[in-house]
Structure 1
């Protein structure tokens, strides 16, 4: 984990960079697709959602969540990704929904910089790294 400064523009620029965003999506998808069938099952997506521990902590303190409520939230998230309702998420569905979620996050953040703790392999961390490398290239050119 690291503490980074970012704003909505950082996320927008990352998502709009088709090459960088697509590469990140393909990497994450391949990591999640444990049986290598080109689709993410509910079980494969569930492992990723559970690893985030979003529902098990509140302000950094472990809490005992209601298992039925958590199952409902995970089911709803999976349905968001499974656009064609075939019970699996393909790469394009994964990319489209991830893009939609990231753009919603960027819109919610606005353009005032905020400081956040980011996981090393998160999309937000990749967005910050892309912005940083772009800034360094511009500085070298000038």
Structure 2
């Protein structure tokens, strides 16, 4: 993990750079698809959902969370990805929902730079690295 400075424009630019975004999504999907069947089950997507730490922290401080409540939140997030409600998430569903979530993050951040702790290999970290590469060129 590292502390990075980013803003909504960095995220929007990454999502709109279709080729780079699609490559990153395919790579992420392939890492999550443990049984290599081209579909993500709740169990496979759970690692990604857990990394979001939706309700486990409060201003960066871990808080006690009822495991049943957390499991329910993860199930509801999975439903957001599973557009056709077949109990599995295909690559297009994963890409579409990830794009929607990233654009929502960008919208919420606005265009003023903020510091964030980002996970190595995470999509936000990739967006920052791409932006840095563009600025250096």
- Shorter chain as normaliser: what TM range? over 0.9
CA displacement at 1:53 relative to structure 2: 4.1
1:86 and 2:102 correspond: no
Shift of 1:51: 4.1
TM-score (norm 1): 0.90
- Aligned equivalents of 2:8, 2:51: Cα separation in 1: 25
Distance 1:27 1:82 in 2: 19
1:23 match: 23
* Partner-residue secondary structure (3-state), 1:116: strand
How far residue 56 of structure 1 moved from its aligned partner, in angstroms, is 3.3
Provide the TM-score with structure 2 as the length reference. 0.93
Structure 1's unaligned 5+ residue stretches are: 138-142
SS in 1 for 2:86: coil
Larger radius of gyration: 1
* Aligned residue-pair number: 137
The alignment yields a C-alpha RMSD, in angstroms, of: 1.3
How far did 1:28 drift?
0.5
Aligned to 2:76: 76
Structure-1 separation of matches of 2:38 and 2:23: 16
| Cα deviation digits, residues 63-101 of structure 1 (max 9, x gap) | 321122111101110000000001000000000000000
Aligned residue for 1:117, secondary structure, equals strand
Written as runs of structure 1 = structure 2, the 5 A alignment for 1:1-142 is: 1-137=1-137
Question: Could you list the runs of 5+ residues in structure 2 that have no partner in the other structure?
Answer: none
Equivalents in 2 of 1:106, 1:51: separation in Å? 18
